[in-house]
Structure 1
Amino acid sequence: MSYDLDLSTAWACVIAFAIFAYVVMDGFDLGIGILFPTLKVGPERDAAMNSIAPVWDGNETWLVLGGGGLLAAFPLAYSIILPATYPLIIAMLLGLVFRGVAFEFRWRHAPHRPLWDAAFTIGSVVATLAQGIALGAILQGISVRSDAAAGGWTYAGGWLDWLSPFSLLTGASLLVGYALLGACWLVWKTEASGQAHARRMAFWLAIAMLVALAAVSAATPFLSYAYWRRWFAVPGVFVTAQVPLLVLVTAVLFFRSLARGGERLPFLLALGLFLLGFVGLGVSMYPYMGF
C-alpha cells in the first residue's frame, strides 16, 4: 500500500511539474497573443513575434507530457476528465492550430498580415479561455456514476456541465494571468516604446491578477466542504495560511522592480504568483486525482 501511495505522489508531482512548465513556457507567448492588438502595427508587433520565435513551437510538449502522465498514472481520472471537458479540449486545440498557422503565415504575405494578426490573437484568447474554464470545471466537480459494464466509474454529466460562473471566473483569471506573463516577457525582451508600453500594461495587469487570485481563492472553498476542510483544517492550513502572505510579499517586490526599471525580475516574480496559485489549487485537487 505504501508503494502505491508513493508512486501516485511521484506521478502527481511529475504532472504538476509538467503543467507548471507549460504555464512558464507557453503562458507568456499566449499572453503576447492576447496583448497583440494593443501593440503598434509594425516594429512593436514584429519585435514581440521575434522574441518568442525561438521557443514557441516546442512549448506544447509540456502539455502532452501532462496529458500522457495523467493517462499513464491515473487512467480512471483521465477517462472521466476528458469526456467532461471535450468541448474545451477541442476549442483549445483549434486555438493552438490557429496560433501556429498565423505565426508562420503572417511573414509570408504582407497584405494579409492583419488577417493573420487577428487569427493569432483569437487563437491565443480561445486556447487560454479553454484552459482556464477546464480548470474551473475540474475544481467545481465532475458528475460520475458506477458502471459495472464499463468496469468502474464513468462520466455522468452532460455536454455543457463545465459551463458555470466559477469556471468562467477561472477562465477570465487565466486570461489576465497569461497577459501579465506576456507583458513581463516583453519588458524583458524588448526595448524603447515597446518596452515602455509593456511596462504600463504589466502594472495594470498585475493589479487585475491580484484581484483575480483573490476572487478565485474566495470562491474555491465554497465549492465543496472537502475543499474548505483541506484549506482550513490541519495539516492543509499550515500550507494555505502562508499563501496570502507570500502573494503579498511577491506583489510588493513585483511593483518595486517594475518601478525601478527591472527587466528580468518582473517576469520571474509574475511566475512566482502563478506558482503560489498552483500551491493552493494543488492542496484542493490532489486527493481527487485517483478517484
Structure 2
Amino acid sequence: MSKPVDRALAAGNRQRLADYQASHFLWHVAGGVATVTLNRPERKNPLTFDSYAELRDLFGRLKYASDVHAVVIAGAGGNFCSGGDVHEIIGPLVDLPVPELLRFTRMTGDLVKAMRACPQPIVAAVDGVCAGAGAILAMASDLRLGTARAKTAFLFNRVGLAGCDMGACALLPRLIGQGRASELLYTGRTLGGEEAERWGFFNRLVAPEALLDEAQALARGLAAGPAFANGITKTMLHQEWSMGIDQAIEAEAQAQAICMLTQDFKRAYEAFVAREKPAFRGD
C-alpha cells in the first residue's frame, strides 16, 4: 500500500485538469485520457498566437496532472490543422521587428518542448490537411494514427522560410530517416496517407470515421498501463537521442531500478502469480 502524499507537496505538484476550461480549442478528459480538439473547422483548424500560447501552457501543466495519463490531439471537421493562420499570424509577422519575431519562434518551439517534456504519451489523430505547424504537432506527438486521405506537408520553404522550424530538423529525421526528411523539408511537398504509413510517419492507417475512436482507444490502453513507467519510457526515448550507447544503457539501468520500486511493479508480479490482469494505478 502506497503512503499518502504530503498535502503541501501534492498541492504544488498534483493538479486535476478535468475541469480545465480551454479558450482556444476543445478540451475533454475521460477515463484518464485528455482529448485536445483544434476547433476552427471552417478554416481547417489553423493556429493563432493565442492558441499557440494556450497549448504551450497546457502541455506544460500536464506534468503535474494527476487525472490525465494519455493525450489525444485531433482536429474538427475532417482536417487536423492547416498550420499558422495566414491572416492572424503570417500577416502580422511580416511587419514585426527581430526581437518580436524571435519571441514568436521561441514560443512555438516551447510548445514542442512542452509536448516532449510532459510524461503522458500523446496520440495524434491525423485526417485531411496536416500542414506547417500542424505537421509539427503531429511530429511532436508520440504516436500518430492517420487516414489514407491525410495530407501532411512541412510547407515552410513554400513561404520563403527554412525547414528548420520547431525542431523539425531534429525530430523528423529520427522518425522517417535523414533522406526522406530532407526531401520533405527542402521541397515542402505533400505526403499522402499511405506513403506516410510506409515511411513510418504514421503508425497505422484507419478509416476516417473510425479515426478518433481508434486514437482514443489506443490512448485508453496507454492510460490503463503503468503511468509512472510510461512517463519514464517517454523521458528516456527523448533523452537518449543525445547519449552514446554506454551512457544510454547506464541511464536505463537507473531508470528501470526506480520503476522496480513502484507499487505497479509489485502489482504486476502479484497479478501474474494470481493469474490475473494487473490493475495499474500509476504509483
Q: TM over 0.5: same fold? A: no
Q: TM-score, normalised by structure 1?
A: 0.27
Q: TM-score, normalised by structure 2?
A: 0.28
Higher RCO structure (Cα 8 Å, ≥6 apart): 1
Which of the pair is proportionally richer in strand? 2
Higher helix share: 1
